[in-house]
Amino acid sequence: MTKAIELGQSYTFSDYSKLNYYREDIFAYFGYSFQSEAVTLPQSQGQLDRLESLRQRIEESLPLVTLDSEAARREFLIAPVLMDLIHYTRVKVKVSYPLAVNDQLKGALDYYLQSQNHLLVIEAKDENLQRGFTQLGVELIAIALSIAQGQQPESQRLYGAVSIGNIWIGNIWQFGFLDRENKQITQDLNLYRVPNDLEDLMGILVAIVKKDEG
């Protein structure tokens, strides 16, 4: 058994991003394996008619906003993307969604998107993608357990994304998913930069939510 987590200790989701342990050891504690690889994510083929407007708004505001807090990144980098995602998909977005499975899996999900039986979790973090993905993975594990307990709608593959950003690097997104059947978490090695890769990013988000990958 991994010693990454102390038995009897209480943890929130954000606590896992601060632990000095390998993410695979943390995931293994909960019975999940881990791999990193380049993933071909679903991509929407539908019309994305607001892309250019969104790109202009982000490019215009990015140099003028201080992005030194998670709240600022959520409001100025992620929220504009999600507002347009709502336009394309009519998905319901829950902000700071509380989830408590047990004493070691509890906290608030930055963004929880649910469309029929398709789920997507988005986590806004600082400039450390690796620590952010550790937290995201634990959140996906919590959702998987809540599905098993009948607290969430059935979904075999649970998608998540970590978003980081500042005025120098812009906004970077990284995706991952949890396979419930094989109890495995996969981190996509591909990175999507906003505004440069906005079309690819939005196409992926729309496809995940609508599951219209063909």
- 68-122 pLDDT per residue, tens: 677 777 888 889 999 999 999 999 999 999 999 999 999 999 999 988 767 899 9
Q: Rounded CA gap, 106 and 113, in Å?
A: 18
Per-residue pLDDT at 71: 77
pLDDT for res 128: 84
Q: What region does 147 belong to: left with phi over 0, alpha with psi -120 to 50, or beta?
A: alpha
Of 41, 9, 39, 38, nearest to 26 (Cα)?
A: 9
β-bridge mates for residue 35, sequence order: 186
Question: Pick from 147, 146, 201, 149: which is nearest to 171 by CA?
Answer: 201
Burial class (CB within 10 angstroms; exposed 0-12, middle 13-18, buried 19+) of 202: buried
pTM, to two decimals: 0.91
- 184 forms beta bridges with 33, 179
pLDDT digits (tens, 9 = 90+) for 156-175: 889 999 998 765 666 899 99
Give the whole-angstrom CA distance, residue 194 versus residue 81: 10
Q: Smallest Cα–Cα separation from 55: which of 19, 92, 84?
A: 84
Check pLDDT > 70 for residue 152.
no
Quick one: which of 41, 83, 191 has its CA closest to 130? 191
d(CA 157, CA 1): 26
Q: Where are the domains of the chain?
A: 13-210
The DSSP 8-state label assigned to residue 3 in this structure reads S
- DSSP structure class, residue 12: B
